[in-house]
């Protein structure tokens, strides 16, 4: 039997990897897993993982690899994922990537492509300080580039819009440094497998998505 495909979105914070993953998953009719969303949910629910993760998220640092891999393993082992899935925000270190390769093997998945969306730091700062997210449905807006019709209210569900605690200038810079030092070595790891696709993220969401769709062959 053919193995189910897995697509990974990688890239610096604010590159749009979450946005693109959210668009691709329904097109492929598979679930979208966002490690950042799962960790934020754990913090909100004050679970054991959430208690550990909170200070890392607030500071813009990565949670320990063991915590990240456990959360990812639990998510991808669910039966909704059996036909494949799209994941963003994981893996984020070389250690996580190696463990993830093993996990996919163990669970019988095929890592099809790693879509690497690249944008420079100035663009990251512009995008993230204006980002607002809906507390209820998770829709993402931007005060300048994609404002909601009514200030502070989600167009889609009427939920309250909020600014992520880690979307402030100071924490964004830490997140970028963490990305540069800990996550960017992944790019070489995946280049060697021939599965890496480089995508220029400094374009409209729809243009980036056209390229993503072409890269995954859908």
Catalytic annotation, residues: 17, 92, 131, 164, 175
Separation between Cα atoms, residue 129 and residue 163, nearest integer Å = 8
* Cβ 128 to ligand AMP shortest distance, Å: 9
CA neighbours closer than 13 Å in the CB half-sphere of residue 166:
22
- Considering only residues 89, 109, 172, 208, which one is a binding residue for ligand AMP as defined by CB under 6 A? 89
Beta bridge pairs of residue 33 = 87
Task: Tell me the helices (H) and strands (E) count for the chain, helix number first.
Answer: 9, 8
Q: Are the C-beta atoms of residues 143 and 38 closer than 8 Å to each other?
A: no
Region from 41-49, 78-86, 89-97, 196-204 binding ligand AMP, contact rule CB under 6 A: 89-97
Q: Please, which residues have CB within 8 angstroms of residue 147's CB and are 6 or more apart in sequence? A: 141
Q: E strands of the chain, at which residues?
A: 4-10, 32-34, 85-88, 109-118, 131-134, 140-142, 161-162, 196-200
The residue among 52 and 197 lying less far from ligand AMP, judged by its C-beta, is: 52
Separation between Cα atoms, residue 156 and residue 197, nearest integer Å = 32
Task: Check residue 96 for interaction with ligand AMP (CB under 6 A).
Answer: yes
- Considering only residues 32, 54, 92, 113, which one is a binding residue for ligand AMP as defined by CB under 6 A? 92
The residue among 49 and 212 lying less far from ligand AMP, judged by its C-beta, is: 49
Region from 23-31, 33-41, 153-161, 198-206 binding ligand AMP, contact rule CB under 6 A: 33-41
- Considering only residues 21, 25, 35, 87, which one is a binding residue for ligand AMP as defined by CB under 6 A? 35
The residue among 46 and 210 lying less far from ligand AMP, judged by its C-beta, is: 46
Separation between Cα atoms, residue 197 and residue 137, nearest integer Å = 30
The residue among 16 and 91 lying less far from ligand AMP, judged by its C-beta, is: 91
Positive or negative, the Cα torsion across 47, 48, 49, 50? positive
Q: Are the C-beta atoms of residues 87 and 65 closer than 8 Å to each other?
A: no
Task: Check residue 39 for interaction with ligand AMP (CB under 6 A).
Answer: yes
- Considering only residues 10, 24, 25, 68, which one is a binding residue for ligand AMP as defined by CB under 6 A? 68
- Considering only residues 33, 42, 63, 134, which one is a binding residue for ligand AMP as defined by CB under 6 A? 63
* Cβ 68 to ligand AMP shortest distance, Å: 3
Contact set with ligand AMP (CB under 6 A):
13, 35-36, 39, 56-57, 60-63, 68, 89-92, 96, 166, 175
């Amino acid at each position: 039997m053919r193995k189910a495909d897995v697509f990974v979105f990688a890239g610096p914070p604010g590159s749009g990897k979450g946005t693109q993953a959210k668009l691709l998953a329904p097109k492929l009719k598979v679930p979208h897993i966002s490690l950042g969303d799962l960790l934020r949910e754990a913090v909100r629910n004050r679970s054991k993982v959430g208690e550990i993760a909170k200070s890392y998220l607030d500071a813009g640092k990565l949670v320990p690899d063991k915590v990240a891999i456990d959360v990812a393993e639990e998510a991808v082992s669910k039966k909704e994922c059996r036909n494949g899935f799209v994941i963003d925000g994981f893996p984020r270190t070389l250690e996580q990537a190696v463990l993830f390769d093993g996990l996919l093997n163990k669970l019988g998945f095929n890592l099809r492509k790693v879509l690497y969306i690249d944008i420079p730091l100035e663009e990251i700062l512009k995008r993230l300080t204006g980002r607002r997210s809906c507390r209820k449905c998770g829709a993402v807006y931007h005060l300048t580039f994609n404002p909601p019709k009514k200030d502070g209210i989600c167009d889609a569900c009427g939920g309250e819009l909020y600014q992520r605690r880690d979307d402030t200038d100071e924490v964004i810079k830490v997140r970028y440094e963490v990305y540069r030092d800990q996550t960017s070595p992944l790019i070489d790891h995946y280049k060697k497998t021939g599965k890496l696709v480089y995508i220029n993220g400094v374009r409209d969401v729809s243009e980036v998505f056209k390229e993503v769709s072409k890269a995954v062959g859908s």
